[in-house]
Structure 1
Amino acid sequence: MIRILAAGALAACLALPLQAQDRGAIESTIRAQMEAFLARDVDEAFTYASPTIRQLFGTPENFGRMVQQGYPMVWDNRELRFLGIRPEAGGYVQSLILRDPQGVTHVLDYLMIETDAGWQINGVSIVPAPGVGV
């Protein structure tokens, strides 16, 4: 019964609109990490990752290699624009558009969680372009 109440309370909290200050903090976290990547400061970029992500990669260098190889549009990001935000998976998903150095646009979803250190990035997904399929 306690689990059901706890789950209901969590769902009710996530159903509440995100406060403007939290939206601003989420955007600031993402922007700061993007700037750190452009400066090639992987130590700084790593600080914006959640404890789960930091534990998964272990070192800023491992994390930086993963971003450089798996998310080149984040590593060399240009023209960041924020889209909508929605509650999901114990946090919020902030959608955004990035333009890479070649001028190609990419849509990404950032899973953001609130920790004792503030809002942190708990995962990033590349959103497939609409109408593209196999």
Structure 2
Amino acid sequence: MSPTAALLVIAAIVVAATIAGIVLRRRDGRARAVHAGAVEPSALALPGDAFGERATLVQFSTELCARCPGVRRLLSEVAREREGVVHVDVDLTHRPDIAQRFRVLQTPTTLVLDAHGVPRARIAGAPARHTVAHELDALEGITHV
């Protein structure tokens, strides 16, 4: 292979990797709507009263996740600030069955459940506070102008 061709191949790989990184970065921490049946606390190996009266923030994490402690603090603070909202952390390290059931491909991943335990939003990656607040407001019918 000529040096020019090798340089062109390397340049193409760098451009493709950069584009893939930008796309993945833009999707990280964004909420998307979820349409699924209600989640039973037993499916997450939690006691029956673990869910909130208005909403539940279910965080899927692992022991080696670098961003999970920060997300845990953020979700706990949001839950404390809002009446009827509970934060639940599910460690997937030793429970791959739960990861498979909820199709968790990265940690942290957060599910926003309504008062009936029905997932309404899924946030892959580290969410921003305003993203979580917006999803909780949407559950309560609060709109922002």
TM-score range, shorter chain: 0.3 to 0.5
Q: TM-score, normalised by structure 1?
A: 0.34
Compare relative contact order (CA 8 Å, sep 6+) and give the higher one, 1 or 2.
Answer: 2
Larger radius of gyration: 2
TM-score with structure 2 setting the length: 0.32
